[in-house]
Structure formats: C-alpha cells, structure tokens
Structure 1
Amino acid sequence: MQKLKRLLVLLLVIVTPFLLVACKSAKSPSSQTDKKVTINFFNQKPEITSQYQKLIKIYQKKHPNVSIQLTTSGQGGGAAALQSKFSSGEAPDIIMLGGLPEIDRYKDHLLTLKNMSAVKNTLPRLISGGMTENHRLVGVPVDLEAYGWVINKDVFRKAGVDPDSIKNYAEFVQAVKKIDAQKDELGLQGVFGFNGADTNSITSMSAQFTSDYYQNDQVKAFDSKKFPWEKEQRMKQYLHLVKQYSVKPILSVKYDESIQDLFYNGEVAMIPQGNWVIPTLDGLQDNWTKDNMGMLPYFTKDDGTDELLTGSSWYLGISNDNPSHQKIAKDFINWMYSSKEAQDVIINEMRFVPATKNFNTDRLPDDVSKEIYQVGTSKNAITPVHKQYPNGFANEVIGPMVQRYLVGKTSWDNLKKVVSNQYKQLKEVQSGQ
C-alpha cells in the first residue's frame, strides 16, 4: 500500500507541470499574460479628443490589461506630427489618416483590413477612400460628413427666407440678396462668414466643383494629374458672391471666429462648413443646433438633383510595425464600430453620422444628421475629393491663389493657370513620374 502511495505521488509530481502548461495554453489570447500592453492611437481631429478619451476608458475597463495612449495633433499640424512619429521609429498602432496621399505615404507600414468586421458594413462608395493604388484596403472611414453651407435658421426665419424653397443657384442668389437687403435690421456683419484665412476651408470648398467628375472613385481622383475645371464658371460665380456679400476683410476671418463668434451669435446667415461644427456649437449652448442649424448644398447642376457632398475625410488604419499590438488595435476598432455603448458616444457626443449600411436613423439626435445619412446613402450621393489632392496643394497652391483672387491680386485666368500647372507638377513628383 505504501508503495502504491509513493507511486501516485511520483506521478503527480511528473504530470502536474504538464497540466499547468495545458491549462495556460487553453486560455484566451487576451488572458495569456498579466502583462499590460500599451498601444498608441494617433488622432488628427482635436475637437473630438475628449470623446475618444471616454471611449478608451470604457474599453480599458473591459480590458484591464490594455492601455491605449491617445496622441492628438491637428489644425494643420497633424500630417507633420505623424511623419515625425514614423521618422523617429515611433509609429502609432492606430492611425487617423487624411486621404489617399497620406495613405500612399505610409502604405508599406499599413496592415490590410479587408477581413475586419468593422469593414463589412461600411458604405460601399466610401471603401475606395481607404485603399492603396493596388486596391489594398488599409483604412476604415471614421464617419459620414456633409460639406455645404451651414445656415443659421433663426437668421433665415427673421429674413423671411425658407431654405427648403431654394432649389437652384438663381434662387440661392435671390435668398442672399434678400438677406443682404435686411443686413442692418438683422444685425448682420455679412450674409456669409467666409473664413478666408483658412486655406483648408477654401480647399474643401473647391471640392464642390471638382468631385462630380470622378463619380465616387477616390483612387481615380488620386491618380489623376489633372485638376478638373468642368464647373469653373459656377466656382467663379460662387467666389464673386462671397467677395460681395461676406464679412470684410475676407482674409482676416479665421476658422474658429467664423463658427463661434459670427455664426453662433447670428452675425452672419451662413458659413462654408459641414456637420463637424455641431459639437463646437452645442458646446457653447446645449442643443443649440437642434433649432438653429441647417444645411444647404452648393448648386452646381441646377437640374433639381443637387445635394450635399457626403463622404469621409478621415480613415483609421493599423500599423504593421508592431505585430504584437495588431490584434488589440483591430479589436478596439471593431468594438467602436459594433458596440452599442461605443456608438452611443460616437452618435450623441461626437455627433458623428455612421458611415455604415442599414443604420437606424431614429438613433440620430438631430434632423441635420438624419438628412446627411439619407443623402449619403442615396444612389446619387457624391463623395468629395479634396483629400485626394496632392500633398501641399491646399496650403501652398489653391488656398493662397483663391485668397489672392478674393482680394483682387490675381486674375481668374492666372489662378487657373497656376492651379493647373502646380497640381500636375505635384502629382508627378509625388507619384515618382
């Protein structure tokens, strides 16, 4: 009997380590180690930093062994800050990317995302905005944005102008003139609060006249070495309207001022922006946008089909520089796009419109967001292409040239010549041709 007991003890001594190893290997990947894993998230939208921090806290509470460090750099400095990260060997794990030129710059560092669950429900026409030239999917759209005129509905009401009745350019001009005729009575500095100091806003405005040419093919827009001038007359007409009816001096009006001072305080009737201004305005007064903000498209066709341009300026990518971080990075993005808890923050606090198919619009908190989703999912929806312009084109070419044109320091013919030549040259240099 004693021999049997000694034999059993010996067997336990021999077998126990193997059992422990087997149990350890059977655990889920996330529980294989108690060591905390830190991944880095590079954000280029400063206005939603606090909301991203909230999402990170919720996710970390569910995954205590994960730490997500958020770095934010924007307002024109994001691209340079991201390049610095890569140059110093500190590539972020999750990267907010602005357009195909940025994707092309980092394509060798970006993971293919084709099989991620976050991708499968993405609006099809937005997919090309996250692809490399060889159609490898490396980015997921952050949201669905609308580009047009953001209007102060209270000013329109007081001026006796019904924005829903404006269906073409001629009617838009009539509305502008009617509001301008009551400028003093309404306490307006101008009909438009055109932020002429901001070259990025000028560039996004130009997309109103160039995007239709590419019919939602973002890769085609990126590959093209030609700046489309098919709608140059309408572009010229809108710029003349701005010159005549905007706050003066035009080039002194800055981005924040145009939104937080001029527009919010009812000193202008409209500004050339999109739904990304909602968090800023509602931050000044709760639910201000619900009753006071609307949007109008640029009327470039005049055939009754003009709608807001809708697309995504930003895409989330995952770096392949840190293989051990990729699983967590994927899981965090998938969680943001699928979890109701995460989507509640994204919809109600970031005020994003989801770039996904079959979304229940009853969950969206305002009429503007519902309209954007309706327009953005329609068969005639058009994606803006300004993010596919070559690097440097916004701040060094079209922005400054339009600024000069607005104050009479260059002719339209010279503007057109410089823009066309510089666009082609920048594309050729950056494509290596």
Structure 2
Amino acid sequence: MKRKVVSVILCGTMVLGMVTGCGSSKGGDSGDKVTINLYQNKSEISSQLQEAADKYTEENPNVTINVESIQGNDYNTNLKAKLISDDSVDIYALGDNITNMTDYVEDLSDQEWLKNAVDGSLDDVTLDGKVYGIPVSVEGYGLVYNKEIFKDAGIDASTLTSYDAIDKAFADLQNQIDSGKLKDKYPQLEAVEEYAAKETWIPGLHTLNAPLACEYSSATELRNSDQLGLKYADSLKALLDLETKYTTSKDDLSN
C-alpha cells in the first residue's frame, strides 16, 4: 500500500509555495515516539528549516524531525525514488505536476485553513475538486541593491523608474568600479551585479517566471496551454539584456 504523505509545492508561474496532507504516521497518541522525514528542494533555507524543526522538537520531545534538502534537476527523480522506498518521506516539496503524484498525497479538502487561502493559491494542487496542497510561501522577483554602494557612487535609487534610467546608472557605476574610484572602500567589487546566466536554470526558470506570472494565472493554466505564448517576450529580453550587461560573467556568455 502506497503511503499518503504531506507535500509542499513551489509553483513555477505563480511563484507560490504549498503543502498537502499526511495519511501515514509513525505514532498515534501524544506519548508515542514519532519520526517525521521532511524532504525539500530549496537548500538555501535548509538551516532555517532545521532550526524550526529543532525548536518544535524542544517543545515536543517525543517527535523527531529529519530535514533533508537537495537542489537541482535531480530533485523529482530522487523524490520519487524515496516515495517508493522503505525509508520514505512524510513532508516534501512538490516539484512536479500534482496529477503525477496522486498516489503520494493526502486529500486536505476538509481542512479549516482552506478558508484563509489566497484566491488562486490552491489552483495547482486542486484535482477533481479536491485540494492536495498547503500554501507555505510566496517568492518575489526583483533587483536588490546595496544602499551604501549606491550612496557612495552618487546614485539616487528613487530615480531608477525605467530601464533607460537603470541602464544609465549601472553604466555610471561600472565606470566608477573600473576606474578604481570605489576600490578603497569596496576592494572586491568587480561589477554592478552578478547573474549566472550559464546556469541555464536561472534564466530559464527564475527569470522566465517573471513574464509568465504576468501572462498566466497559474502553473496549471500554463501547463494546459497548447503553446507558450510569451506575450511579454520583449520585456523578458530587456530584462535579460540588463542582467547580463553588467555582470562579472558577461565575457563567458559571449563564448
């Protein structure tokens, strides 16, 4: 019998995180020893998850929570291998189409928290009228800048309200970096920004999410489309051009 487990979904287009319900348990009564295996695909938050797990264990000493994090294209393959093994998982990040995971998720349609879910946040984990996922996070996309560097370079971030303005400011900052004007205070500063475009999943997943989220209401709507419309292709190109123009790896991108 396949185990029903809790899954966490990180939706592509809607850049939204979610979870589904647990149908298996290694302990019933509150006094029983319980072990929960959590498997997720965002290594950058693994330490925070471990801290949360440790805190929960402090307050519930009968519960052991094992946090395992993996990042990259192998996540779905490894997840499915774990789900059919004897050492399965109880909570996991759902990185695949929910229709491919129906043997390993729990129906959460009767949960009280459903009424608090933001409109549209459950679309990608709803199948045949049943909800199989819990929203846990929202990811934002944008350019984050260092206030001190901008201040020392004489750049007023409040004026950067267009691509042309940003491009001009970035060019000015790059010239100051190249001339050595900022070297005493920022000796390791080589470029205006860093964009690892050779890691194809960065432009192909994260950057692409920005225009797709403006075009499609959910990852499910995109998946069910006959073709990728990419209505905002021009804006995507402008963003990629900006990102790659002022990065330390720009020379590698031309090779």
- Going from structure 1 to structure 2, the CA distance change for 1:73 and 1:241 (only over 3 Å counts) comes to closer
Quick one: distance in 2 between partners of 1:120 and 1:166?
A: 39
Query: Residue 41 of structure 1 aligns to a residue in which SS?
Result: strand
1:115 — aligned with what? 110
> Percent sequence identity over matched residues?
26
2:200 — aligned with what? 199
Q: Does 1:175 align with 2:169?
A: yes
State the 1:111 CA deviation: 0.7
1:141 — aligned with what? 135
1:238 — aligned with what? 239
AA paired with 1:407?
A: S
Quick one: distance in 2 between partners of 1:250 and 1:126?
A: 40
Q: Does 1:162 align with 2:161?
A: no
- 1:3-402 to structure 2, matched below 5 A, reads 30-31=29-30, 34-98=31-95, 101-132=96-127, 134-184=128-178, 185-187=181-183, 188-202=189-203, 203-214=205-216, 216-249=217-250, 251=252
Quick one: distance in 1 between partners of 2:118 and 2:251?
A: 37
1:272-299 deviation digits (Å, cap 9, x = unpaired): xxxxxxxxxxxxxxxxxxxxxxxxxxxx
Quick one: distance in 1 between partners of 2:108 and 2:145?
A: 38
Provide the alpha-carbon RMSD of the alignment: 2.6
AA paired with 1:186?
A: L
Query: Residue 71 of structure 1 aligns to a residue in which SS?
Result: strand
AA paired with 2:209?
A: A
Largest Rg, 1 or 2: 1
Work out whether residues 131 and 219 of structure 1, in 8 Å CA contact, stay in contact via their aligned partners in 2: no
Q: Which has the higher strand share?
A: 2
Query: Residue 223 of structure 2 aligns to a residue in which SS?
Result: helix
Of residues 160-169 and 73-82 in structure 1, the stretch that sits farther from structure 2 once superposed is 73-82
Work out whether residues 125 and 131 of structure 2, in 8 Å CA contact, stay in contact via their aligned partners in 1: yes
State the 1:82 CA deviation: 0.8
- Structure 2, unmatched stretches of 5+, are 1-27, 184-188
Quick one: distance in 1 between partners of 2:141 and 2:251?
A: 20
Scaled by the length of structure 2, the TM-score of the pair is 0.73
AA paired with 1:212?
A: C
Query: Residue 144 of structure 2 aligns to a residue in which SS?
Result: strand
Query: Residue 192 of structure 2 aligns to a residue in which SS?
Result: coil
Query: Residue 196 of structure 2 aligns to a residue in which SS?
Result: coil
1:7 — aligned with what? none
Q: Which has the higher helix share?
A: 1
Quick one: distance in 2 between partners of 1:159 and 1:91?
A: 53
Scaled by the length of structure 1, the TM-score of the pair is 0.46
State the 1:75 CA deviation: 4.2
Work out whether residues 222 and 228 of structure 2, in 8 Å CA contact, stay in contact via their aligned partners in 1: no
- Structure 1, unmatched stretches of 5+, are 1-28, 252-405, 409-433
- Going from structure 1 to structure 2, the CA distance change for 1:126 and 1:165 (only over 3 Å counts) comes to farther
Aligned residues: 220
State the 1:194 CA deviation: 1.0
1:420 — aligned with what? none
- Going from structure 1 to structure 2, the CA distance change for 1:180 and 1:63 (only over 3 Å counts) comes to closer
Match of 2:254 among 383, 386, 407: 407
Quick one: distance in 2 between partners of 1:52 and 1:40?
A: 12
AA paired with 1:170?
A: D
Query: Residue 224 of structure 1 aligns to a residue in which SS?
Result: coil
Work out whether residues 195 and 249 of structure 2, in 8 Å CA contact, stay in contact via their aligned partners in 1: no
Of residues 68-77 and 200-209 in structure 1, the stretch that sits farther from structure 2 once superposed is 68-77
